[in-house]
Amino acid sequence: MSDTQDVSEHAASIAEEVDADTDEVEERLRNLLEYSVPLEEAERTVRRRYGSEGAEPEDAETADLGDLSTDDTRVSAEAVVVSAGARSIRVDGEDTVITEGELSDETGVISYTAWDELSVEAGDTVRVEGEVREWDGEPQVNIDSDADVIHADADIEPEREPYGVRSVAELKAGDRAVTVEVGVVDSEEKEINGRDGETTITSGTFGDPSGRLPFTDWENRSLDEGGSVRVENAYVNEYRGIPQVNMGGYTTVETSEDIDVSHTPPETDIAEAVEKGGDFDVVVRGNALTVKEGSGIVERCPDCGRVVQKGQCRVHGDVDAESDMRTKAVLDDGTGAVTLVVGRELTEELYGGSLEDAREEARDAMDKTVVTESIADNTVGRRWRVRGNVSVGDYGANMNVSEMEEADDDPADTAREVLDEF
């Protein structure tokens, strides 16, 4: 029996028991299963929704949010709504709108998700009842309907105040219904294979005085580089260890006053960045050990920018390739190593000439590797200060470089400073 048949049969049985519409029951059941709720528990929740005596519901335990764990089941709590927003997700091929945000009391903060529209907004004090579920290793409260949220008069001093505008540095994966005022550091359109086939999205980098983070706008709004915007009802997820701001159909974007995006990026050890699974806009210092094959002059697909081999793009086939330059170098700081991925502008600086100069040298030598050797001569064995984004994947750690310059620090002094800390 297929999973689809199995769920349908369970839904039909519940619908008959509680005298409800089968399709409606099945939709509620699948919504819970989509969030990894065990089938038996999902059935109890749906039965309870329709007031079935056969549900044998547990009484909701009154709890402090800070005491909740993934071992808890059904709870009741009084809390302040820290944030509230809506988002569209896809369940079994159908788009479903959920309400989500965060709740806080004196003891802690917890995320919530509701399958119905809730009549709440940030700053409201409420009593909520719901099922505790695990999401990304943390407990969250799943609220079945608006009837499970009652406005309360309790005097609560929340651990986290209702959100106003958040700073970029405050954001973390799992944040929902986020408002930020940011500058658009860079922005570009991309074609991806989305859930509805070929889709155009906008991605880039947001910044404010506290830091920078990548963003993805699934609605492909026009965001001008150098402009500033106020973004409401965004959500944050994690990609390769780095928090990423996401904007969907329920996100609003408006022009704002100019935001200062200049800031001093934090310095980190390579090992620390790799252990975190990635890091965004950081500085590392280390010695260049080698320049890897594939550096120097490369040919790219004019449609997708991928490096092509013998005029063949793995996506677009036979193309009229365009010349470019890049450097892939291994940097080691004593704690670990990372492959630097350096674009054309900085590679030209490492090479000591332009792309046209490099092509001319390669033509004269009838060999592109002479360009790679020149880059290696100017790079390997030197100590560098590098700024960029670290990501960790199946092939190790890479750093997409935005700045690269010879370091002016003395490694011996650095070592002494480290020893002094101990």
Q: Tens of pLDDT along 217-276?
A: 999 998 999 999 999 999 998 887 788 999 998 899 999 999 999 888 999 999 999 998
pLDDT per residue as tens digits for the range 263-272 = 889 999 999 9
Phi, psi of 212 (to 5 degrees): -140, 150
* 8 Å CB contact between 183 and 258: yes
Task: Verify that 192 and 276 share a domain, yes or no.
Answer: no
Structure confidence by residue, pLDDT tens digits, 38-78? 777 678 777 766 666 444 445 567 889 999 988 887 888 99
CATH of the domain at 110: 2.40.50.140
Q: Which two tokens stand for residue 19?
A: 């005298």
User: Is 231 inside a domain boundary?
Assistant: yes
Can you give the pTM of this predicted structure?
Answer: 0.67
Domain boundary among 96, 116, 151: 151
287 and 392 fall within a common domain: yes
Q: Are residues 332 and 409 in the same domain?
A: yes
Residue position matching structure tokens 């939709």: 27
Distance in angstroms between the alpha carbons of the first and the last residue of the chain: 63
Dist CA 155 CA 204 (whole Å) = 42
Report yes or no on 262 lying in a domain. no
Quote the number of domains for the chain: 4
Read off the DSSP letter of residue 374.
Answer: H
State yes or no: pLDDT of 107 exceeds 90. Answer: yes
Residue that finishes a domain, picked among 230, 255, 280: 255
Taking the C-alpha atoms of residue 271 and residue 334, their distance in angstroms, rounded to an integer, is 9
Residue 392 CA to residue 395 CA, distance in Å, equals 8
Secondary structure letter of residue 51 according to DSSP: T
In a domain, 163, yes or no: no
Write down the pLDDT at residue 217: 95
Q: What is the residue-wise DSSP string for 166-201?
A: BPGGG--TT--SEEEEEEEEEEEEEEEEETTEEEEE
Among 17, 35, 55, which residue terminates a domain? 55
Tell me which residue has tokens 């029996």: 1
Q: What is the mean pLDDT of residues 384-410?
A: 91
d(CA 160, CA 181) in angstroms, rounded, equals 20
Q: Which residue has the tokens 């089941």?
A: 73
Q: Is 24 exposed, middle or buried (0-12, 13-18, 19+ CB in 10 A)?
A: middle
Residue type, 150: I
**Segments forming the whole domain that contains residue 72:** 61-151
